[in-house]
């Protein structure tokens, strides 16, 4: 009889130990599950944010429509290059609205000259910012997503013929044969690039301040 009681007592102790181990395993599993759920939630949020940023970068873009330049003569009356040029841009297909005053606009030449501008001046004349909107009656600096809106396109004027204009190439002009690159970087980080080469020689039938197509 005593042996039976001892055996039963030992079995009870083993059962309690097993129960403790089981509870410990449940607690560890619960903690691990909590960590996994928190991690999964964080990763999901991060992935969603990354996806939205990537979508914004892909869908936010500009398209160059045309670029023209104004020819200039030297002291002898010969055409030597351009002292002003302007480029027209619009939103790319499916792009969201872009505020051109939130962009960085850079100009580079194969002569090693470069200038960078933060946004576009909305004044009535070229200022120290160096560039301005051609249409000073624009309601805003934002390119609209509404194709019927007057602000669906924008023409940006780059002045070269005044040291205060911000672009200061030698002789305040871009000479014949010069290659020029324009890069517009949006606030989302996307870039739109356009290049053109000034004819060499320029058409001798042109007069000073005549406009020529550059692209």
Which two structure tokens, joined as six digits, stand for 214? 């550059």
Stretch 105-122: mean pLDDT, rounded? Answer: 84
- Residue 55, pLDDT above cutoff 50: no
How far apart are the C-alpha atoms of 68 and 86, rounded to whole Å?
6
Stretch 66-89: mean pLDDT, rounded? Answer: 88
Partners of residue 159 on adjacent β-strands? 84
Stretch 37-66: mean pLDDT, rounded? Answer: 68
- pTM for the model stands at 0.67
The 8-class DSSP code of residue 84 comes to: E
Closest to 202 in 3D by CA, of 170, 171, 166, 175: 175
Partners of residue 143 on adjacent β-strands? 98
Rg of the chain's alpha carbons, rounded to an integer?
34
């Amino acid at each position: 009889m005593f042996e039976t009681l001892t055996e039963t007592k030992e079995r009870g102790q083993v059962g309690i130990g097993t129960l403790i181990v089981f509870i410990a395993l449940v607690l560890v599993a619960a903690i691990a599950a909590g960590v996994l759920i928190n991690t999964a939630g964080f990763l999901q949020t991060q992935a969603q944010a990354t996806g939205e940023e990537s979508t914004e970068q892909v869908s936010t873009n500009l398209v160059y429509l045309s670029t023209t330049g104004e020819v200039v003569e030297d002291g002898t009356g010969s055409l030597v290059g351009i002292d002003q040029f302007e480029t027209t841009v619009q939103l790319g297909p499916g792009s969201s609205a872009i505020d051109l005053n939130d962009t960085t606009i850079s100009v580079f030449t194969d002569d090693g000259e470069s200038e960078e501008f933060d946004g576009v001046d909305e004044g009535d004349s070229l200022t120290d910012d160096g560039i301005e909107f051609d249409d000073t009656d624009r309601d805003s600096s934002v390119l609209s997503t509404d194709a019927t809106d007057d602000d669906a396109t924008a023409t940006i004027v780059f002045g070269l013929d005044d040291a205060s204009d911000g672009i200061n190439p030698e002789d305040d002009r871009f000479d014949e044969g010069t290659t020029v690159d324009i890069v517009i970087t949006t606030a989302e980080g996307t870039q739109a690039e356009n290049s053109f080469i000034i004819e060499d020689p320029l058409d001798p039938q042109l007069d000073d301040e005549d406009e020529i197509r550059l692209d």
